[in-house]
Amino acid sequence: MGRTIPLPMLILAVLGFCYMLLPILVVVLAGLTAGEFLTFPPEGLSLRWVVAFLQSEKYLSAFFFSFRLALLTMIVATILGTAAALFLSRTRFIGRGAMRAFFLSPVVLPGVVIGFSLFAFYISTGIGLTRTIWGLWIGHILYSTPYVIGTVGAALASYDVSLDEAARSLGASPMRTFRKITLPNISQGIQAGSIFAFIVSFGQFEVSLFLSAPNAEPLPIAMYNSLRYKFDPSAAAAGIFAIILVTASVLLTNRLVNIGRLLEKK
């Protein structure tokens, strides 16, 4: 079988992958250093910082807190983002473009601005969300939802609406049409959006800096604190576990979706 893409494009693609993957390699190797400090190249290889991470109550609680937070954020962001994308793609009204820009604005604005704005909003309204886990969760949802809107919106843009019309003409209710026709066809977009939401929430730093609750430190904040006060490679070791988690999430989601498709075919 012949090559399907031109050689220059192939070279560019390989270089692009290297560019994206090298920082990950640096994190992994830095976390496996035998030295005292977070440096690259590592001073020998050792699992001592991985063990230190696994024995650190602080890191482990931050890791699992971030995991739970990202999971809950992903669920809500996926529902809200999908609904918003459907609304934007299926309704025609003046100002739709402006509304789309409004929905996507959390991605455009710096995270620090969003974090501080929400912090100030919680305080000025006195709704009891200042420095609470709920307040932090809302911040993460706000920041993650546009990624779902973007990917689901892209899936809907290439979606043939006549499929829905055919289903309706055959007597399917709007809900049944959505469940049986629309949803399966845009599932790839939803899947990609939910993964994005999870990853963005798991790695979110700026919003968390202002909204995180006492005694509930997300992993990026814990890593930042470690770098501020110790600069030992346990932060990189934590990074290794974060990379493993995110990769596993992507693979697992892919697998679940594929299984769903197989079942559907049967």
Partner 1 sequence: MTTKKTLHTRRSFLQRSAALGAASAIPSTFYINHAWAQDTSYDGGVFDAGGATLNVGEWGGGWEEFVRKALTDQFEKDFNCKINWDSSFPWFPKFVTQGAQDPVFDICNWNLPNLTQTKQAGDFFLSTDEVRENVPNAADCWDFAFASGAGVTWAYMPYVYAYRTDRGDAPNSFRDFWADRFANKRGTYGTENGLMHAFFMATAQEFGKDQYDMAAAFQALEDAMPMKVSEFTFNMLSLLERGEVDIAVHIEGEALSLKRKGAPVDVWQWDSHPILTQTKTISRYADPMQKKLAFALLNRTLSPEFLNAFGDEFMWRPTNSKATITASLAENGVENTAAATEAFWVPDWDFFVENKLDITERLNQIFGL
Which spans of this chain sit near partner 1 (rule: CB under 8 A)?
36-39, 56-58, 116, 119-120, 123, 130-131, 208-210, 212-215, 217, 221-222, 225-232
- Name the minimum Å distance from CB 131 to partner 1: 7
Q: Which residues contact 38 (CB under 8 A, 6 or more apart)?
A: 30, 227, 231, 232, 233, 235, 236
Q: Which is nearer to partner 1, 19 or 229 (CB)?
A: 229
CB atoms within 10 A of CB 6: 9
Query: From residue 198, how far is each of 21, 72, 248 by CA, in Å?
Result: 20, 9, 12
3-class SS of residue 104: helix
Nearer to partner 1 by C-beta: 56 or 73? Answer: 56
CB of 35 to partner 1, least distance (A): 8
130 or 177: whose CB is closer to partner 1?
Answer: 130
Nearest approach in angstroms of CB 58 to partner 1 is 6
The residue (of 228 and 266) whose beta carbon lies closer to partner 1 is 228
Work out the angle at residue 78's Cα, subtended by the Cα atoms of residues 72 and 80, and round it to the nearest 5 degrees: 105
Burial of 214 (0-12, 13-18, 19+ CB in 10 A): exposed
- Minimum distance between the CB of residue 203 and partner 1, rounded to whole angstroms? 16
Interacting residues of 109 by C-beta distance below 8 A, sequence separation 6+: none
| CA distances (Å), origin 91, targets 78, 95, 126, 181 | 20, 11, 36, 19
CA dist 128 and 198 (Å) reads 26
Minimum CB separation of residue 241 from partner 1 in Å reads 17
- Minimum gap (Å) between residue 102 Cβ and partner 1: 24
If we measure between CA atoms, which residue out of 204, 218, 202, 227 comes closest to residue 111? 204
Q: Which is nearer to partner 1, 123 or 252 (CB)?
A: 123
Choice between 136 and 195, CB closer to partner 1: 136
Q: Give 216's strand partners.
A: 213
Q: How far is the CB of 129 from partner 1 (least distance, A)?
A: 13
User: Which of 87, 59, 212 shows the shortest CA–CA distance to 148?
Assistant: 87
Q: For residues 164 and 217, which CB has a smaller minimum distance to partner 1 in the complex?
A: 217
